[in-house]
């Protein structure tokens, strides 16, 4: 199944809006922003065949700007008849102190999306296992992902859908490049280790700054991450700062970098497992044949 792409005018569907956008700004700038994000999500879904074999998606909602934006855009596409899958929003309450438990269920109920709130105290596990001063992100992410996989199976979903965006993908690439010694990033589509679920990232082409503006305009009830978001000196923060500096000095470089990840030439890298250098042969010249 493919998602038929239309023009921006078609995407407006006669000027109608999903009820979710009833209180959103009516400005030209917001409409352009919303249409750009919708177009980018649809392009990612098309480019990576995200709808193939899909009937039900579990959409991870953390309470941050990215996952709120993802859910809103997917709901808009579904409302327009452009996303023929059932959406289930899911928040994993990880037991952080002072976590406002009412915000997400109240919000998800108010916008009329089916949802599930799951409580698992992974916060205590992370605090116990990770030494003081070390970053929590890796273990926290693994524990969260494992629980979301379980919930997706229980809800009969074929895919877990996450709100990672362009900057997440680029930052991951440079973290692997500088610290991991490998060329790898965060794919827009992958199969989990067990082989029974897809992980999809429809915001792969979306800029973080656009999502921040979208979230502010939509007045999403943002919940900050007090577990890892308050830690200083994270490698990802260094990559974010580096990319921001490059973009400030050379506008458009982030999009160029993202395109580069889609145009890989294995013969011009140094991995003999990826390209058979041993089979390279020269063509004899006419002089050699005399």
For residue 15, what pLDDT is reported? 56
Rg value, the chain, Cα = 22
Q: Look at 197 and 120; give whichever has higher pLDDT.
A: 197
CA–CA–CA angle 245, 253, 191 (5° rounding): 105
Phi-psi sector, 218: left (phi>0), alpha (psi -120 to 50), beta: alpha
Other Cβ atoms less than 10 A from the Cβ of 121: the count is 12
Residue 245's pLDDT band, with cuts at 50, 70 and 90, is: very high
How much of the chain, in percent, has pLDDT values that exceed 90? Answer: 67
For residue 126, what pLDDT is reported? 73
Question: What one-character-per-residue DSSP string does 133-202 give?
Answer: TS--HHHHHHHHHHHHHHHHHHTT-SEEE----HHHHHHHHHHIIIIISS-----SEEE-TTSS-EEE-T
Are 128 and 180 within 8 A, CB to CB? no
- Please name each of the domains of the chain with its CATH number: 8-279 (3.40.50.620)
Average pLDDT over residues 196-201: 96
Q: Look at 97 and 255; give whichever has higher pLDDT.
A: 255
Are 48 and 188 within 8 A, CB to CB? yes
According to DSSP, the residues that pair with 88 across neighbouring strands are: 58
Residue 226's pLDDT band, with cuts at 50, 70 and 90, is: low
pTM beyond 0.75: yes
Burial (Cβ within 10 Å: 0-12, 13-18, ≥19) of residue 156: exposed
Are 199 and 160 within 8 A, CB to CB? yes
The gap from C-alpha 6 to its chain's centroid, in whole angstroms, comes to: 23
Average pLDDT over residues 263-280: 93
Q: Which residue has the tokens 């042969």?
A: 281
Residue 280's pLDDT band, with cuts at 50, 70 and 90, is: very high
For residue 288, what pLDDT is reported? 60
């Amino acid at each position: 199944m493919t998602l038929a792409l239309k023009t921006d005018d078609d995407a407006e569907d006669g000027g109608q809006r999903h009820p979710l956008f009833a209180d959103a700004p009516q400005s030209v700038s917001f409409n352009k922003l919303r249409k750009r994000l919708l177009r980018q999500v649809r392009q990612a879904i098309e480019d990576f065949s995200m709808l193939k074999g899909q009937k039900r998606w579990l959409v991870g909602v953390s309470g941050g700007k990215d996952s709120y934006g993802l859910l809103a855009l997917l709901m808009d596409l579904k409302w327009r008849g452009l996303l023929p899958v059932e959406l289930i929003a899911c928040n994993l309450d990880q037991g952080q102190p002072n976590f406002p438990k009412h915000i997400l269920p109240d919000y998800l109920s108010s916008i009329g999306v089916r949802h599930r709130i799951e409580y698992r105290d992974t916060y205590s596990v992370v605090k116990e296992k990770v030494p003081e001063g070390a970053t929590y992100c890796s273990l926290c992410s693994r524990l969260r992902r494992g629980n979301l996989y379980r919930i997706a199976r229980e809800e009969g979903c074929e895919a877990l859908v996450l709100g990672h965006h362009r900057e997440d993908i680029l930052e991951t690439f440079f973290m692997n490049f500088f610290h991991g010694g490998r060329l790898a990033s965060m794919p827009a589509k992958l199969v989990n280790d067990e082989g029974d679920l897809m992980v999809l990232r429809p915001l792969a082409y979306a800029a973080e700054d656009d999502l921040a503006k979208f979230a502010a305009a939509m007045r999403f009830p943002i919940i900050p991450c007090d577990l890892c978001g308050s830690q200083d000196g994270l490698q990802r923060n260094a990559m974010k700062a580096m990319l921001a500096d490059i973009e400030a000095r050379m506008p458009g470089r982030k999009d160029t970098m993202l395109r580069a990840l889609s145009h890989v030439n294995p013969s011009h890298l140094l991995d003999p497992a990826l390209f058979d250098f041993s089979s390279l042969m020269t063509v004899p010249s006419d002089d050699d044949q005399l």
